[in-house]
Structure 1
C-alpha cells in the first residue's frame, strides 16, 4: 500500500524559531549494566596489545585499563566509556585502577570495575556544550523552490533541526591532562554533530551536513566547520575520522576540498582561500604519501597511481574495543569459543578493522574475501566473518573518484593561468585514466573495486559504482552516438530503475544481505545524493530519450540490467515483504510491485513517484524524480497537517514513533530504520538532514504529496495489505524505529508496505521517513 505523507513535529521551543536561545544539552548518563553477577570475577584475557604510538593515553588507548573495562562489558556501546572524561587526575585514575583487587585488576570482579568507572569518570560528552544559532533563518530561500505545500512545511521543519545539533567545546569543563583527562580533540569553532553516539565533529559526515547548511543559509557555521578542519590540518597534518584522540590513526573519505569549493561557490567568499589552499595541498600530499599504491592494469599494461585505505594499527579500536577483541579472540565468557588468533594474526586483523572504519563503510561485503570476488552462479561461502576482511587489498573506486574530483575542484579555486591550476588538472587527468582503465568494466557497464590480492576487479556491485559519474568521469562507450548508445547508458543505470520498481525503499549499499550495515537492505542518504548527482552529471544528449521498456511484458526490470552486472541472479535478490511471512515474486513482471504507466504510453513511472514533467522528461530525469520522492510519515505539522489517530497509526505499527531522522533506512520498508552494524540505529541525523534539504532545494518542483489510502478501510478490506489507491491527505505513520532500538524492525508495518510511498523522502530515502512521528 502507499503510505502517507511524511510529517514532522515543528520544534516548539523558541530557539527552534529564532536560534538565539541556547538549547539544553542533555549529558548522557548511560547506566552501566555488567554482563555477569556483580561478585563474579572477570573472564580471562589475552595479552594486552602493544601501545600505539599515535594514541599515547594510558586510559583511553590500548592498555590494561581499557581492555579490562571493556571485558567487563559495562555498556552496550563500547564508545560510551572512552567518551567519559576522568573526574580525577590521570595519574590518580591509573593508580586507583592498578590497585584494584590487590594490584591484580585484570582479575577483579565486575562490581569492582563498575565502582571504579562510576567513581573515576564523569558522564560522556561533558566537554561539549550546545550553542545558540543567531543566524538561523526559519524561511531560507530554497523553500521557494518547493511547490507542494505539505512538502514545503516538512522541509521547513527539518531546516529547524540544525538548532538541535550545534555544538562547541565547553572550556569550563575541558580537561587539561593534569587535573583530568579526556579523549576529546578540542575545536576552536562551532560545529554540527551527526547525532546520537556521534557527539563530535566527523569528517565525511560533514560534507552532507555542509550541503544542508548551505541550503539553510547558515554560512557562518559552514565557515566554522572548515576552520576546524583547517586547524586539524595545521596541527595534526591530516583530518582524522572524528574529534577524538582514538581516531588519530585514520582519516575518512577526503571531502574537505569539496566542502571548501561548495562554500566559496555559494557565498563568493574567497578570503578563506588564503589559509585554505595551502592546507588543501597538505591534505592531498598526505593521501599521496600514506594511501597511494601503484597498480599495473591487467587489461592495458599501464601503471597507475591509485589510492586505498590502509591504517597502521595493531590493537582494537578504542571506541569499539570489545567488538574488535571478540572478533579476534572469540567470546571471553565462553571458553569453548574463546579460541583466538595469534599475535601476528590479531595485529593484521586490527589493521583491517581500522582500515574498514576509515572507509566510512564499516562494514560491508565489499571488504570480505569470498564475498567481494564471488563469480555469478557460484554458491556463497558457507561461513565467513570479519576475520576475512581485506580492506587494505581493496582499491576502492569511490575513494579514487573523490580524489579525482578534489583535483578538479582545487584547480578551479586557483587563477586559471596559475601553475597550480594546470598541475592539478594534469593530476586529475592521470587519475581519470586510471579509474577508467582499472575500475570500468565495458562488458558489465559498471565500475568495480580492484583487488590487489587477485589482481583483478572484484565482482560485487555497490553504490560506489556511481561515484565516477558524480566526479564527471563518463566512459566513452556511453558517450558514442551510435544506435546502441541508449541501451548502454540506460543499462549502466538500470539498477536504479530496478530498485525504484522492485522495492519499497531507496538504493541499498549493495544487493547482498550479510547483516553488515553497509549492505542490503540498508539504504544510506549519502548514496542517494551520489546517485542523484551522477544522473545530473550526464550530458543531455544521452539522457533525453524515454526509458527503454523490458523486452516483453512478462519480464521484470531486472531484464534491463546488463548480464552479471550485479553479480547475482534474479532469484538471489532480496525479496520485498508484502505481508508477514509473505514476499513479492522474485522474478517476472510481478516482481515490479511499484511499476505503473506514466501519463503517456511512452512514459512510465512508479507509485507515488512525484510530479512527472511531461513527454520530454527523459529517462534520467524520470529516475531522479522517482528517487527524490521516496518518503514516509506518521507525525504532524502544526497548523498544516494533523496527526492520524492512534487507531490508524496502529495499522502500520507507527503509533509509538519518536519523530527522529535516522542515519540509515531500509530498502525493503520505507518506514523502517536500517539495521545491523556495531551500534544501535542513531537518530539526529546530520547527513540525513543535509541530503533532505538539498533534495528539497534541487527537486522542489517534482516533489509531490503522495496519494494516500484510508488505512482502516484498506486494512479491513485486504486483511493487512493496503490498496494502491485512496484519498490524499494526512498520512499513515511512518515507521522508523524509535531511535534507540537496534535492528530497525524490518517487519514493522510490512503488512502495509506492498507499495512504495512517494513523497518525499528525500530521496533521502525515506530518510525522511519516519522521521517524525
Structure 2
C-alpha cells in the first residue's frame, strides 16, 4: 500500500472495524461503508471501536450508530464540478437529421457535467481519512454506486468527451491515470485506496493515442499539434513504466512464448473491501478463492463462467480445464460451475493479450511520432512476437476464432507473478472475447472470423445486440448480458476486416436502437443491456444494475456521430436547437 495511504488502509482495506461492519451487513451494498470519509484519524476511530462492548461489535444497530458518529455521508469527499470546456451548443448534434436521435444525442451530451466531479482538497490534506485517491484534475465517474474514476471505463468515457468537444476534460482524465502510474507503478482498478492492489485491462496507451490523434487531426492549429506532441513526450515514459509492470508482474512463458494474464497472489489475498461480505460467503475463508476473485475483478469481467474450470476447489474433483489435454475435462463440464470455481490465474486471456499487442504497437508508433523510431524497435519486435505467440497458441483454425488458453496446474505454489509452463490447451468457452483481437490490428483480422461470429450464437439472443457468452450462469459477464465496451471493440474490429463492414454497421445500429429504446423507456443510460430484448436492461451479478452511465454514453456518442451526423447538412432547424438547449438545461 502506498505510504501516504497506510493509515486509511486500517479503516478501508483491513482490520476489525471493516470486518465487523461488513460481516454484519450494516449496509446492503458493501461498497457504501468503504466510500464514507472518516471524521477523525484512523487511530482515534479504531480506539473508540476497541472500547465498544463486545455485544455491540456484533450488533447492527450499535454498529450503525458508531459509523454515523465517526464517518461522513458516502461520497461526501467528491464535489460537483462544472467542466470549463462544456458548451451547450454542440455543433455535431445540429447536423443530425433525425429528431429523435438529435434529442438523444443532446441528452447524452448534457450528462457530462452531472458525471464530472472534483476531489475534495481534504483528500490531499488528510489522506488517512479517505479511501478516495487524490486527483489533480476533475474526474468523470461512470455513475450510480461507481462514484470514482475507473481504469478501462475511462477509454470510452474519453471517446464520448472528445465527441462532445471536451478535449481538455478528457486530457485531465488521462493525466490522472498517468499520475497513478507514477505513484503506484500501474493504473489501479479505480480511484480508491482499496483498488490499488489490482489493475484493469490496459487501455491507457490507446487513450493517449486518441488525444494525440485529436490534436494532430486535419484542421488543428500548429499550436495544438505542438501541445499534443508535448503531452506525448511527457506521457511516453509513464506508458513505458506501465508496460513494464505488465511484463514483470503479469506475464507467463508457454513453450518459449511470452504472454500475459491477470493475477493476485494468494498469500496476499483478502476479501475485496467493496465486496467484503460477498467474498467471505463465496470463499469460506479460502485464500486461493479470494485471490481468484480479486484477479477476476482485475480482468473487468467480474464475474463470468469464462473463468470457471472443471474440478476447481469447490468440488475437489480434480484440476481439469476447458479443452482436454493437459487441462482435462470436456466442454460441457467446463461450463458447469459456480463463482467459487473461478480459476482465472490459470487462464491466459485472449483479450488481454490483444490489448497488450496494441500497447506495444502504440509505443512503437509514439517513438516514431517523437522522431526516435529506433527507440520503438524493441516494442515493434515485442508486438511481432506476441502476434506470433497468439497465432501459434490462441488461433483455432477449425472454428476461425481466437481462444483463451488454459494453463496446467503450476508445478510450484504459483506464488510468483511470472511463471513458465511447458504447455497449455485452448478453452472451449465461446465468448465475445474470442473476437476482440479483430480490433487489435491487421495481423488478427481474418475474413473467416466474420462468419464465425455470425454462427457463434452470440448474436442469436433476439435483442439485436451481441451477448457476452453462451452460458446463462446468472453472472453479469455472461448470457444474455451485452456490454457496450465489448460491442464497440468488436464492431470496430469488424469494420476494418475484409467482409466485416456490413455486419459491423448492422451491430452498431442495432445497439444504438436498443440503447435508445432503453433510455426512452426508463429515462436513464444503463451500464449494460439485455441481449434477449431490444431496449432491455442487463441484470445479474453481485450488485444492482447501475445507471449513468459513462462508457455507454461514450459508445453511443461515438456511433451517433458516425452514423447520424451529416457534416454537410444545412443549419439545423430551430426545433433541434431548442431540444439541445432543453436537454442541457435539464442535465446540467
1:128 lines up with 2:113 in the alignment: no
Deviation at 1:445, TM superposition (A): 0.9
Which residue pairs with 2:212 in the alignment? 264
Selected match of 1:169 from 101, 113, 119: 119
| Pairing of 1:515-594 with structure 2 (within 5 A) | 515-539=474-498, 542-543=499-500
Q: Is the 8 A contact 1:145 1:696 kept in 2?
A: no
1:411 lines up with 2:364 in the alignment: yes
Deviation at 1:148, TM superposition (A): 2.1
| Pairing of 1:310-459 with structure 2 (within 5 A) | 310-312=263-265, 313-329=268-284, 346-370=286-310, 373=322, 379-380=332-333, 384-415=337-368, 418-453=373-408, 455-459=424-428
For structure 2, list consecutive stretches of 5 or more residues without a partner in the other structure.
Answer: 217-227, 312-320, 410-423, 567-586
Which residue pairs with 2:468 in the alignment? 509
Q: Is the 8 A contact 1:393 1:451 kept in 2?
A: yes
1:149 lines up with 2:99 in the alignment: yes
Deviation at 1:473, TM superposition (A): 4.4
- Relative to structure 1, the CA distance from residue 215 to residue 350 in structure 2 (aligned partners, 3 Å threshold; closer, same or farther) is same
- Aligned-partner SS, 2:152: helix
Deviation at 1:383, TM superposition (A): 6.6
CA distance in 1, matches of 2:73, 2:357: 42
| Pairing of 1:14-33 with structure 2 (within 5 A) | none
- Aligned-partner SS, 2:75: coil
Deviation at 1:701, TM superposition (A): 6.4
- Relative to structure 1, the CA distance from residue 208 to residue 98 in structure 2 (aligned partners, 3 Å threshold; closer, same or farther) is same
- Relative to structure 1, the CA distance from residue 627 to residue 79 in structure 2 (aligned partners, 3 Å threshold; closer, same or farther) is closer
CA distance in 2, matches of 1:699, 1:120: 52
CA distance in 2, matches of 1:511, 1:247: 30
- Relative to structure 1, the CA distance from residue 189 to residue 701 in structure 2 (aligned partners, 3 Å threshold; closer, same or farther) is closer
Which residue pairs with 1:286 in the alignment? 245
Q: Is the 8 A contact 2:335 2:429 kept in 1?
A: no
| Pairing of 1:219-234 with structure 2 (within 5 A) | 219-234=167-182
CA distance in 2, matches of 1:53, 1:696: 43
Deviation at 1:328, TM superposition (A): 1.7
CA distance in 2, matches of 1:316, 1:456: 30
Which residue pairs with 2:66 in the alignment? 116
CA RMSD of aligned residues (A): 2.7
Selected match of 2:517 from 610, 627, 633: 633
Offset from partner CA, 1:86-107 (integer Å, 9 cap, x none): 1122221001111111xx3785
For structure 1, list consecutive stretches of 5 or more residues without a partner in the other structure.
Answer: 1-51, 297-302, 330-340, 480-487, 545-617, 637-653, 703-771
- Relative to structure 1, the CA distance from residue 162 to residue 263 in structure 2 (aligned partners, 3 Å threshold; closer, same or farther) is same
Selected match of 1:251 from 196, 199, 204: 199
- Relative to structure 1, the CA distance from residue 105 to residue 700 in structure 2 (aligned partners, 3 Å threshold; closer, same or farther) is same
Offset from partner CA, 1:480-511 (integer Å, 9 cap, x none): xxxxxxxx344223147x65565124111111
Q: Say which one has the larger Rg.
A: 1
Selected match of 1:201 from 149, 156, 166: 149
- Aligned-partner SS, 1:322: helix
Q: Is the 8 A contact 1:526 1:691 kept in 2?
A: yes
Deviation at 1:631, TM superposition (A): 4.4
CA distance in 1, matches of 2:519, 2:551: 21
Offset from partner CA, 1:402-453 (integer Å, 9 cap, x none): 0101111222122265222222111111111111111110001111100112
CA distance in 1, matches of 2:515, 2:46: 51
Offset from partner CA, 1:651-692 (integer Å, 9 cap, x none): xxx5xx3x1111111111223221111111111100010000
| Pairing of 1:663-702 with structure 2 (within 5 A) | 663-700=527-564
Q: Is the 8 A contact 2:468 2:478 kept in 1?
A: yes
Deviation at 1:152, TM superposition (A): 1.9
Offset from partner CA, 1:199-234 (integer Å, 9 cap, x none): 111111000001111111101101111211121111
CA distance in 2, matches of 1:211, 1:140: 15
CA distance in 2, matches of 1:249, 1:97: 26
- Aligned-partner SS, 1:137: coil
Q: TM-score, normalised by structure 2?
A: 0.83
Q: Is the 8 A contact 1:535 1:624 kept in 2?
A: no
Which residue pairs with 2:318 in the alignment? none
1:85 lines up with 2:37 in the alignment: yes
1:74 lines up with 2:74 in the alignment: no
Q: Is the 8 A contact 2:188 2:198 kept in 1?
A: yes
Q: TM-score, normalised by structure 1?
A: 0.64
Offset from partner CA, 1:497-534 (integer Å, 9 cap, x none): x6556512411111110000100111111111012111
Which is richer in helix?
2
- Aligned-partner SS, 1:294: strand
Q: Is the 8 A contact 1:175 1:182 kept in 2?
A: no
- Relative to structure 1, the CA distance from residue 624 to residue 85 in structure 2 (aligned partners, 3 Å threshold; closer, same or farther) is closer
1:218 lines up with 2:166 in the alignment: yes
CA distance in 2, matches of 1:284, 1:626: 36
Q: Is the 8 A contact 2:508 2:559 kept in 1?
A: no
CA distance in 2, matches of 1:294, 1:435: 12
1:472 lines up with 2:424 in the alignment: no
Offset from partner CA, 1:157-215 (integer Å, 9 cap, x none): 211110110111111576615xx611111111111001111111111100000111111
Deviation at 1:459, TM superposition (A): 0.5
- Relative to structure 1, the CA distance from residue 274 to residue 378 in structure 2 (aligned partners, 3 Å threshold; closer, same or farther) is closer
CA distance in 1, matches of 2:145, 2:103: 29
| Pairing of 1:299-318 with structure 2 (within 5 A) | 303-312=256-265, 313-318=268-273
Q: Is the 8 A contact 1:83 1:125 kept in 2?
A: yes
Which residue pairs with 2:578 in the alignment? none
CA distance in 2, matches of 1:112, 1:266: 55
CA distance in 2, matches of 1:473, 1:105: 64
CA distance in 2, matches of 1:186, 1:54: 10
